[in-house]
């Protein structure tokens, strides 16, 4: 992989996932990193929420939270508009809620400041 990173909760630094499971750098409109798998420290609520504002307007989703501190770190789309349909069933982390520990240079940076390469499934 070109860019190896570990994703941490912004509030408590719990490890949530890594770039080896990254399947999409997301879309600029939504501001997420999309992963196939996450750690056991990511929990999701059973109840579905419905987005009332952009970018998730009209989408049904489960909220993802950090098990340690309870911060809402992302979502799993259940139903979505056509432009977000490719994200259904995947773990989407809000870039502004996670930090990235970059393994190569051993630095911690905000996820919004990292440009991950595009990955194709």
pLDDT tens digits, 30-57: 789 999 999 999 999 899 999 998 888 9
Alpha helices in 1-121 (DSSP H): none
Give the model's pLDDT for residue 115.
81
Q: Where are the domains of the chain?
A: 5-113
Residue whose token pair is 């950090």: 66
Q: Which residues pair with 77 in a beta bridge?
A: 61, 88
5-113 folds as 2.170.150
Work out the burial of residue 44: count CB atoms within 10 Å of its CB; fewer than 13 is exposed, 13-18 middle, 19 or more buried: middle
Alpha helices in 19-112 (DSSP H): none
pTM for this model (two decimals):
0.90
CA dist., res. 59 & res. 79, Å (int): 6
User: Using an 8 Å Cβ cutoff, are 97 and 23 in contact?
Assistant: no
Q: What is the pLDDT of residues 61-95, one digit of tens each?
A: 999 999 999 999 999 999 988 888 889 999 999 99
Query: What number of CA atoms fall less than 13 Å from residue 50's CA on the CB side?
Result: 2
Kindly state the average pLDDT of the residues 94-121: 87
Query: What number of CA atoms fall less than 13 Å from residue 36's CA on the CB side?
Result: 8
Give the model's pLDDT for residue 1.
53
Classify 9 as helix, strand or coil. strand
Give the model's pLDDT for residue 95.
93
């Amino acid at each position: 992989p070109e860019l190896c990173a570990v994703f941490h909760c912004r509030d408590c630094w719990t490890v949530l996932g890594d770039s080896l499971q990254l399947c999409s750098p997301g879309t600029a409109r939504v501001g997420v990193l999309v992963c196939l798998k996450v750690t056991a420290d990511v929990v999701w609520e059973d109840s579905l929420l419905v987005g009332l504002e952009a970018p998730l307007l009209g989408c049904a989703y489960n909220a993802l939270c950090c098990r340690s501190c309870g911060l809402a770190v992302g979502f799993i789309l259940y139903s979505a508009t056509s432009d977000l349909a490719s994200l259904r069933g995947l773990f989407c982390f809000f870039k502004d809620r996670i930090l990235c520990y970059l393994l190569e240079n051993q630095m911690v940076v905000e996820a919004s400041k990292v440009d991950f390469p595009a990955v194709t499934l």
